[in-house]
């Protein structure tokens, strides 16, 4: 998938989350919101030259996302990602424990800011790791990442 496709998919999922909130379906809205977050995570990695097949994985893409945000000094974006994972994905969708008012607030306010920040970051990126992946021969990232 291309970066723009991933960004568009993420914003599409965010719009679906808002529609579900409007219908009172908070738990499915939490799932769609999480999908939006994941599309932006993948778009960030692909924009850096990470192959989509690697970017989409939890065991490879997620640790790489975390390390890169830390290396770029973007710990707040990472903390928010982890908070969304907990409040929306785990406790909201899977466990059904996050209160409906909180799901609504997180999606309408906090997530809107985060996905727009991620889109802006992706558009400003001037780092390309394509060569690092190609030169490794096996598609692994260099050890510094």
Distance, CA of 95 to CA of 83 (rounded, Å):
15
Domains along the chain with CATH numbers: 3-130 (1.20.120)
Q: What percentage of the chain exceeds 90 in pLDDT?
A: 79
Between the CA of residue 86 and those of 4, 55, 97, 121, what are the distances in Å?
27, 21, 11, 23
> Tell me: the pLDDT tens digits for 11-33?
999 999 999 999 999 999 999 99
- Position 96 scores a pLDDT of 83
Distance, CA of 66 to CA of 70 (rounded, Å):
6
**Exposure class string for 21-36: b at 16+ Cβ within 10 A, else e:** beeeebbebbbbbbbb
Stated pTM of the model:
0.86
């Amino acid at each position: 998938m291309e970066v723009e496709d991933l960004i568009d998919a993420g914003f599409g999922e965010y719009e679906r989350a808002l529609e579900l909130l409007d219908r009172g379906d908070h738990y499915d809205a939490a799932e769609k919101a999480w999908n939006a977050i994941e599309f932006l995570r993948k778009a960030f990695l692909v924009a850096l030259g990470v192959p989509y097949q690697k970017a989409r994985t939890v065991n490879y893409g997620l640790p790489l996302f975390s390390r890169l945000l830390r290396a770029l000094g973007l710990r707040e974006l990472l903390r928010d990602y982890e908070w969304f994972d907990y409040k929306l994905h785990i406790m909201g969708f899977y466990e059904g424990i996050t209160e409906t008012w909180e799901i609504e607030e997180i999606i309408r306010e906090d997530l809107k800011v985060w996905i727009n920040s991620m889109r802006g970051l992706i558009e400003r990126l001037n780092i390309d790791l394509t060569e690092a992946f190609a030169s490794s021969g096996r598609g692994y990232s260099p050890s510094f990442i």
